[in-house]
Amino acid sequence: MLNKPIYLDNAAATRLDERVLEAMKPYFFDNYAVATSEFAYSQGIEAGEALEKAREALAAALGATSEEFIFTSGSTESSNIALKGVALGDKKGKHIIVSKIEDFPVLNSARALEKQGFKVTYLDVDGEGFVNLDQLREAISEETLLVSIQHANQEIGTIQDIAAIGKICREKGILFHTDATHTFTRLPLDVRKIAVDLVTVSAHTIHGPKGIGGLYIRKGTKIAKWMDGGFQEFNLRGGMENIPGAVGFVKAVELVTPEENKQLQAMRDRIIDRILAEIPDTTLNGHRQKRVPQNANLTFHFVEGESVTLHLDMHGFAVNTGSACFSRSLESSHVIMGIGGDHERAHGSIRFTFGRYNTIEEVDAVVQTLTEVIPQLRSISPLGKEEGER
């Protein structure tokens, strides 16, 4: 057992960077005013300026202008606004296209719209998680309003060709939303270069605060008012702005460097290479290269994921699994099933996601522990034994 728990679930949440907290502090203690109009009192005006400065910086990080970026409570809300806001605001059509392996905010927003009378196409993906562009083209009809396909997958890290998807949508005059929760600052995304109309981003995956996210909305996109209240966020989302969160979000973005992304990729590559080489009967889920730098996902055949995560936890490691036993709904990962995996592949899948505070030594430590835990669990498993052995 190691002294300090080793956290390898950075796709779920990340440790806050102290520098982010320092940047936020003044907006809790020195200027805690609500953003007011420029005709009110000084603190309110300054608070408003801080918010707008933050908006400008985040919009710029996406190649957008400030009036195209709204703050939200996180990526779940952003994706809800993108799908439902467009569905209600743009009366052009009643058909939406998403991929089968979208994260739940997109998937369940689509399902909710289906109940409201929208038609939804759930696009298949191939064995590595890629959407087929020809199938996308075929799925588009006169009625299609919006295509929502993630930039990269939350479980297996597969990066979609959003430039090509955007091009198809633009040619057909259809809106394109992408969930960039797991790629923002980790991969380039410039809305001047890519024909994307809505982009979901969040601070919680990049060592920023929880409870703040954003949505890029291309100028001219028709979108219904999301939250009734005041006129905040360009009259789309009423409610008091989270100014410390917005300021912290900007700081978190500033702190991500290309060097850090290279380090994450080095950890990713090391864990994949070592596990595949040192533990037999393992399968990589997703593409070897076209995956976000911080994600590795492997199936350890003949064992069940919750047993693996529990053993790892006893050794001080926090990881995630696609096993049904781990989930609240007792359902296997829809992503692993979506890439053509069976239940067995989903049950034995373990996701390792890295962040700023992980080290190569920690990667080696978790691999070392796995080389002990996996054979131990396999020794009691009825699966994976040759007939002669049984």
Of the two residues 282 and 323, which places its CB atom closer to other proteins in the complex? 323
Considering the rule CB under 8 A, would residue 324 count as an interface residue with other proteins? yes
> Who contacts 117 (Cβ-Cβ below 8 Å, separation ≥6)?
94
Residue from 185, 221, 323, 369 that binds other proteins (CB under 8 A)?
Answer: 323
Considering the rule CB under 8 A, would residue 2 count as an interface residue with other proteins? no
| CA 99/CA 92 separation, integer angstroms | 21
Considering the rule CB under 8 A, would residue 371 count as an interface residue with other proteins? no
| CA 124/CA 129 separation, integer angstroms | 9
Considering the rule CB under 8 A, would residue 328 count as an interface residue with other proteins? yes
Of the two residues 5 and 230, which places its CB atom closer to other proteins in the complex? 5
Of the two residues 37 and 379, which places its CB atom closer to other proteins in the complex? 379
**Which range binds other proteins by CB under 8 A, 83-91, 145-153, 162-170, 307-315?**
307-315
Pair 95, 154: CB distance under 8 Å = no
Residue from 68, 260, 304, 362 that binds other proteins (CB under 8 A)?
Answer: 304
**Both tokens of residue 71?**
């703050």
Pair 97, 120: CB distance under 8 Å = yes
Where do we find the tokens 């009734």? 228
A 10 A CB-CB count for 48 gives 19
**Which range binds other proteins by CB under 8 A, 27-35, 124-132, 241-249, 380-388?**
380-388
Of 326, 340, 72, 366, the residue nearest 210 (C-alpha): 72
Considering the rule CB under 8 A, would residue 337 count as an interface residue with other proteins? no
Considering the rule CB under 8 A, would residue 306 count as an interface residue with other proteins? yes
Pair 149, 194: CB distance under 8 Å = no
Pair 167, 123: CB distance under 8 Å = no
| CA 371/CA 311 separation, integer angstroms | 12
Catalytic residues, by residue number, are 325
Of the two residues 13 and 360, which places its CB atom closer to other proteins in the complex? 13
Chain-centre distance for alpha carbon 218: 20
Q: Shortest gap between Cβ of 299 and other proteins (angstroms)?
A: 12
**Which range binds other proteins by CB under 8 A, 26-34, 44-52, 96-104, 376-384?**
376-384
Residue from 332, 333, 353, 358 that binds other proteins (CB under 8 A)?
Answer: 332
Of the two residues 234 and 302, which places its CB atom closer to other proteins in the complex? 302
Considering the rule CB under 8 A, would residue 383 count as an interface residue with other proteins? yes
Considering the rule CB under 8 A, would residue 160 count as an interface residue with other proteins? no
Sign of the CA dihedral with 133 first, then 138, 142, and 147 last: negative
**Which range binds other proteins by CB under 8 A, 32-40, 91-99, 228-236, 309-317?**
309-317
Considering the rule CB under 8 A, would residue 36 count as an interface residue with other proteins? no
| CA 111/CA 80 separation, integer angstroms | 11
Q: Which helix (H) or strand (E) holds 366?
A: helix 360-379
Considering the rule CB under 8 A, would residue 329 count as an interface residue with other proteins? yes
Q: What angle do CA 363, 369, 373 make, to 5 degrees?
A: 140
Residue from 173, 382, 386, 388 that binds other proteins (CB under 8 A)?
Answer: 382
**Which range binds other proteins by CB under 8 A, 64-72, 164-172, 268-276, 374-382?**
374-382
Residue from 12, 240, 314, 360 that binds other proteins (CB under 8 A)?
Answer: 314
Angle between helices 258-278 and 360-379 (to 10 degrees): 30
Please give the DSSP secondary-structure letter assigned to residue 207: T
Considering the rule CB under 8 A, would residue 330 count as an interface residue with other proteins? yes
Considering the rule CB under 8 A, would residue 106 count as an interface residue with other proteins? no
| CA 215/CA 66 separation, integer angstroms | 11
Which residues contact other proteins by CB under 8 A?
302-307, 310, 313-314, 323-326, 328-332, 342-344, 347, 379-383, 390
